[in-house]
Structure 1
Amino acid sequence: MVDSPLPEPGDVRVSALSPHQFQLAAPVLVDIYLAAMDYQRSLRSSRVAAWRQQAAHPGFRAVIGHDRDTVLGFAYAFQGSAERWWHRHVADGLRRAAGAAAAGRFLTDYLELAEVHVDPRFQSRGLGRRLVRAVTDAAPQPRVVLSTPEVPGEDNNAFRAYRALGFYDLMRGLVFPGDSRPFAVLAADLPLPAEDLRR
């Protein structure tokens, strides 16, 4: 990321990326992801490769928040699929927590919101909500589903944004293989509400 003066929120535009544009931008987007999640830079090359592969998923859509010179955030999503690792673990957890009918209802036709991240220097300015709205806009699926790390009292920018956009709990405390942290699995009906539900 370029260490340049940050723009005013009103100067930030949200633009769609084609799958090819997303693949080209992946290194910059992964840098934002690593900074936002405070992950080790040793993950960079594997994440770039994985995200470039995900751009080929059916229904792929991506957006970035940017000014003239700097990408400040991004989100991407695609059609949920039972063939993918994330879906299988969420479906197994939901079946255990709420039964097969619930898993079938919520995970049959959905948009998987794979990632949404904002440069830490530009958080708490509403960009995350704008990105989620943009990446889900006109999506053909009836709902969007995501997972996010649990935090005490839901006291972080991500949870506040998701609740403002109408996301509700599908499951709490899910632990994915290879990651000891519990995750919340959230969903929202599409289209999202026109106005934030709370601030």
Structure 2
Amino acid sequence: MSFEIRRLTPPEFSVLAPQLVEIYIEAMNYRPDILHNRIASWRNDLIRPGFSALIATHDNGTVGVAYGFLGSPDNWWDAELRRGLRLQGGPTEKQWDIVRNYFELAEIHVLPQYQGHGLGKQLLEGLLWNAPARYALLSTPEVPNEDNGAFRLYRSAGFFDIIRNHRYPADARPFAILGATLPL
């Protein structure tokens, strides 16, 4: 199969947001009724400093997406990160260093039928290639023994544990928050 990885401008991302959120919903196995709320949220991220987005395309259209931006205390995810660190007795001096200088990999998803072709790795590396921060952070659902493609991808790229078994208010599943030193 032949795929192309392409960087999107913010206007392109905005126009494609409905289709990109559908990829997210399918890849994460979320209920379709969150579509409109997530589209609005993703479009709001366009104005965040350091915003960058990539897509993976194939003859059948867009099959993957990754985007992120610089971490900032005015973001709900940063507040969750800080809350999680406090719950674990932190943040430590090293964790403060990370919290003050990170690129949030907000989303990275590939449609299930196109997983296993290296698209996640290409999206990850492409998005973080020149990220304007010392660290990259992301969250991913916990799975037993880290036995899935997402954990294998993140570990192979050098991601380490920041917080494990974090509970977000809107999702009952536990999540791992992982970090990597940039460049990868």
- Residue 99 of structure 1, CA deviation: 2.0
Distance 1:136 1:75 in 2: 10
Q: Is the deviation greater in 128-137 or in 96-105? A: 96-105
Q: Deviations over 1:81-103 (max 9, x none)?
A: 01111111111211332523243
Pick from 8, 14, 18 the counterpart of residue 5 of structure 2: 14
Q: 1:167 aligns with which of 159, 163, 168?
A: 159
Asked if 1:35 is matched to 2:26, the reply is yes
Give the partner amino acid of 1:191.
Answer: P
Q: Partner letter of residue 69 of structure 2?
A: F
4+ runs deviating over 3 angstroms: none
Q: What SS class does the counterpart of residue 179 from structure 1 fall into?
A: coil
Q: Distance in 1 between matches of 2:33 and 2:150?
A: 24
Residue 77 (structure 2) aligns with: 86
Partners of 1:179 and 1:41 in 2: CA distance: 15
The count of corresponding residues between Structure 1 and Structure 2 is: 183
For 1:159 and 1:24, locate their aligned partners in 2 and report how far apart those are by CA, in whole Å: 30
Residues 1:106 and 2:90 are matched in the alignment: no
2:135 matched residue in structure 1: 143
Report the residue type matching 2:31 in the other structure: Q
State the alpha-carbon separation in 2 of the partners of residues 26 and 178 from structure 1.
21
- Of the candidates 22, 46, 49, which is equivalent to residue 40 of structure 2? 49
Q: Is the 8 A contact 2:50 2:132 kept in 1?
A: no
Q: Distance in 2 between matches of 1:178 and 1:64?
A: 26
State the identity %: 43
- AA in 1 matched with 2:128: T
TM-score, normalised with respect to structure 1: 0.88
Structure 1 gap segments, 5+ residues each: 1-7, 193-199
Within the candidate set 121, 129, 132, 1:129 is matched to 121
Query: Paired residue for 1:182?
Result: 174
- Check conservation: 1:91, 1:103, Cα contact below 8 A: no
Return the alpha-carbon distance in structure 2 between the equivalents of residues 139 and 12 of structure 1: 23
**Aligned ranges 1:148-159 → 2 under 5 Å:** 148-159=140-151
AA paired with 2:41?
A
Give the deviation of 1:68 after TM superposition: 4.5
Aligned to 2:58: 67
Please state whether the residue corresponding to 1:55 is helix, strand or coil: helix
- Once residues 143 and 98 of structure 1 are traced to their aligned partners in structure 2, the CA distance between those partners, rounded to angstroms, is 21
The aligned amino acid for 2:79 is R
Counterpart CA distance in 2 for 1:162 and 1:59 is 21
Relative to structure 1, the CA distance from residue 98 to residue 106 in structure 2 (aligned partners, 3 Å threshold; closer, same or farther) is farther
Q: Flag the 1:105–1:98 CA change in 2: closer, same or farther, 3 A.
A: farther
- Counterpart of 1:34, as a letter, is I
